Amino acid sequence: MTEENIGKAVKQLLGDSPERKFRESVDIAINLKNLDMSQPKFRVDEVVILPKGLGKSRKIAVFAKGDVGLKAKSAGADYVLTDEDIEELGSDKSKARTLANECDSFIAEVQYMALIGKSLGAILGPRGKMPIPLTPDKDVVEMINTTKNSIRLRSKDKLTFHVAVGSREMSEDDLVENIDSVISRLERTLDKGRHNLKSVYLTTTMGKSVRVI
């Protein structure tokens, strides 16, 4: 798959999709083949940093306290939560679901991971939003900046899944670069690379679909 081919698909998609009065995302729908998805080793679960970002702001929650919590807040984290907050959310499932739906990604200091798993795992897990562990050797500011421009490719046990790769307002070149990064990562991740890709379609929120592969 070349960037030229992706570029043609992007141009066709944007040309065939009328502009709406709201911000539309640009998604790719991925269809796999020749994989037994009942076996976890064949499932896709990858974090991909989009070189041109998503074209929109993303909400991030960080489980941390003290100096790390202060740095997270300064770096633009939408929520900074402590162990007390985790326990409160664990006892208030409605509040926990609201937070899980509102935030795009979560980051947590490693000492909180077990408590989060016990208190919030049933809510965050199915949504693919279990926190990214913040180990002592990592910088929370850098992680937040990276997470703002990253997406998660997650197939679970399905051969078909989709993921946002940008927004309608982004330039064609930026969308092409993002899509190329996602497809390239998929090809490196899949058991037999490109041979496990049945098809890839490009679409906007309310627009038509265009086949890329």
Same domain, 82 and 138: yes
Same domain, 66 and 144: yes
Q: Report pLDDT digits (tens) over 33-76.
A: 999 999 999 999 998 999 999 988 889 999 999 999 999 999 99
- CATH number, domain of 46, equals 3.30.190.20
Could you give the percent of the chain with pLDDT greater than 90? 80
Among 191, 192, 159, CA closest to 38 = 159
The closest of 84, 73, 56 to 107, measured between CA atoms, is 73
Q: Are 109 and 68 in contact (CB under 8 A)?
A: yes
**Residue among 132, 123, 199 at smallest CA distance from 160:** 199
Per the structure, the count of domains in the chain is 2
Claim to verify: residue 73 and residue 144 sit in the same structural domain = yes
- Tell me which residue of 182, 122, 121, 176 sits closest to 150, measured CA to CA: 182
Q: Are residues 113 and 169 in the same domain?
A: no
pLDDT band at 1 (very low <50, low <70, confident <90, very high): low
Residue that is last in its domain, among 148, 170, 203? 148
- Its domain, for residue 182, covers 3-54+150-211
Domain boundary among 127, 148, 169: 148
79 and 126 in a single domain? The answer is yes
192, with CB counted inside 10 A (0-12, 13-18, 19+), is: exposed
Tens digits of residue pLDDT in 124-162: 999 989 999 999 999 999 999 889 899 989 999 999 999
Q: What does the pLDDT average to over 172-186?
A: 95
Q: How confident is the model at residue 22 (pLDDT cuts 50, 70, 90)?
A: confident
- Can you give the length of the chain in residues? 213
Q: Are residues 35 and 67 in the same domain?
A: no
Residues 132, 108: contact at Cβ < 8 Å? yes
Q: Looking at the whole model, is its pTM more than 0.85?
A: no
d(CA 44, CA 151): 13
Residues 65 and 142 occupy one common structural domain? yes
Are residues 139 and 200 both part of a single domain? no
Are residues 73 and 122 both part of a single domain?
yes
The pLDDT tens digits of the residues spanning 69-124 come to 999 999 999 999 999 999 999 999 999 999 999 999 999 999 999 999 999 999 99
